[in-house]
Structure 1
């Protein structure tokens, strides 16, 4: 039996890069003491997330202020990522950042930015995933990617998602069909924008976060590793609650809303084989019955404002 130790993280990361590296160093040290093979840090570790998501109805002054408050952008092959690699050593470490795309400019001549998750070891960069699905006004700050691909790592085949990506069954299903045994969902998942609960534990967006984690693990019968930010940044308050979910949809360990590290040791191949020996969702699909190209009704949205 081959055992893999997975640690997921809920912690606070802002604009201060040196503080971020200190936090990552502290977390890596604790994770290594636990025998961790795979460490999943949150979305936007390096440089923090957006202070607000924005709206298509924002005036130019608001848009200009958002541009001034954007997180710093780094290249995947740059020195900022190399510092995380040096901390990772023989551990596989996943983390989020704002990526400055090499050789891509937008219509205004600015470097294109992506919300990106990076997988590294001390030996190099294993993979990078650019966020595909953009909630609310996130498209006003980042470009969207258009692909999901699993990759091989020292701990097996992994797929990465970023935050809102996990709300779409097609995303995790694509990774599972690409052979992902572990799917890591890195988030900066906040509380609800309206009618927020006094206690984070009661927040409706926190409940969605937890439901998606359990459902996507069970949908695809994979090991699910979800990280998240904690604390507050700008107008956002994050729900924490990083967790590891087994391929049967059962939560094996979680941090709670206050954050911390959650660790599980398991035989990934044995776990997948046990749950897939009966009803096996990937095998029992009927792709010809699914209308994946169906056109949706024209519901109101932030991207296409409806005027009375």
Structure 2
């Protein structure tokens, strides 16, 4: 039941969509040549994080053309792709222009099998992005199993994972743009590596407490401004493989039998689906 997957990270160039797209395609081709059935890119992989620039917003209108390109590449290489996230421009019911941060799952046929609009918006993002609010987290069938999508700060909310696991997700894919500077100076004065600690511990916890695989792809770059740490974590064994801050493509074989064994031991899914489940949220 092994599934070969690739997590990809690099130093994303702000506002340079063609260059970032070319880099992504090069790494996806490398992953496919190594037998990967899935390639996952970081959040904001096309234009980085520069939301105060008018160009950043203009580029949101170009995202669909890049998704079409990735769909063609997926079909050509016979590989599923989660192309990180893209920024999309929409018009609200009130006629206001709004922007969503969206992750897609593209099958090896080029079809869109699922998508997810970021729900839990990180505090500095809130002036620029709109939350999916009360839209449900949905798991969907793919050639590599039942998948759920989350984005970056969603990782901090166990409820997001629980809803996906209740829907049957066997693996949760999390494109991310998480940096060491996301913690304020007061937090870093106690522990300069607190964000690294947050990611390493939380990713392992989530796979154990939900009996699922977690695929995490983050941006990379200079260590004073980026974390990297793209990885795959599995219940029972923890970290299957991880990168540091370097640019590259990490290809790993996930033994999905571990998900079955974890559930057999911990019975988390059984409890969540039972009539006597204890927790109800507003």
1:60-93 deviation digits (Å, cap 9, x = unpaired)? xxxxxx26363521477x3221011122222110
CA RMSD of aligned residues (A): 2.4
Q: Does structure 2 conserve the Cα–Cα contact (< 8 Å) formed by 1:48 and 1:97? A: no
The equivalent residue for 2:8 is 9
**Unpaired runs of at least 5, structure 2:** none
Alignment of 1:203-214 (within 5 A): 203-214=193-204
Match of 1:113 among 92, 99, 106: 99
In the alignment, the residues of structure 1 paired with residue 93 and residue 245 of structure 2 have an alpha-carbon distance, to the nearest angstrom, of 38
**Unpaired runs of at least 5, structure 1:** 52-65, 294-308
Query: Whose helix proportion is higher, 1 or 2?
Result: 2
1:224-250 deviation digits (Å, cap 9, x = unpaired)? 100001127xxx922110000012361
Report the 3-state secondary structure (helix = DSSP H, G, I; strand = E; otherwise coil) of the residue aligned with 1:224.
Answer: strand
In the alignment, the residues of structure 1 paired with residue 163 and residue 171 of structure 2 have an alpha-carbon distance, to the nearest angstrom, of 13
Is it true that 1:191 corresponds to 2:177 in the alignment?
no
1:197-249 deviation digits (Å, cap 9, x = unpaired)? 69xx95211211222211111110101100001127xxx92211000001236
With 178-187 and 202-211 compared, the bigger mean Cα shift is at: 202-211
1:258-281 deviation digits (Å, cap 9, x = unpaired)? 24222221331x221222222222
1:138-169 deviation digits (Å, cap 9, x = unpaired)? 11101000331111111111001000001000
Alignment of 1:1-308 (within 5 A): 2-13=1-12, 14-50=14-50, 66=52, 68=54, 70-71=56-57, 72-74=59-61, 78-89=64-75, 90-95=78-83, 96-101=85-90, 104-105=91-92, 107=94, 109-121=95-107, 122-145=109-132, 146=134, 147-192=136-181, 193-195=183-185, 203-231=193-221, 237-248=225-236, 250-268=238-256, 270-285=257-272, 288-293=277-282
Q: Does structure 1 conserve the Cα–Cα contact (< 8 Å) formed by 2:100 and 2:129? A: yes
Alpha carbons of 1:93 and 1:74: their partners in 2 closer, same or farther (altered >3 Å)?
Answer: farther
Q: Does structure 2 conserve the Cα–Cα contact (< 8 Å) formed by 1:214 and 1:245? A: yes
Report the 3-state secondary structure (helix = DSSP H, G, I; strand = E; otherwise coil) of the residue aligned with 1:113.
Answer: strand
Q: Does structure 2 conserve the Cα–Cα contact (< 8 Å) formed by 1:74 and 1:80? A: no
In the alignment, the residues of structure 1 paired with residue 237 and residue 101 of structure 2 have an alpha-carbon distance, to the nearest angstrom, of 27
Say how many residue pairs are matched: 268
In the alignment, the residues of structure 1 paired with residue 164 and residue 74 of structure 2 have an alpha-carbon distance, to the nearest angstrom, of 24
In the alignment, the residues of structure 1 paired with residue 232 and residue 148 of structure 2 have an alpha-carbon distance, to the nearest angstrom, of 14
1:154-207 deviation digits (Å, cap 9, x = unpaired)? 111100100000100000111111111110011000113433869xx9521121
Q: Name segments (4+ residues, structure 1) moved above 4 Å.
A: 285-288
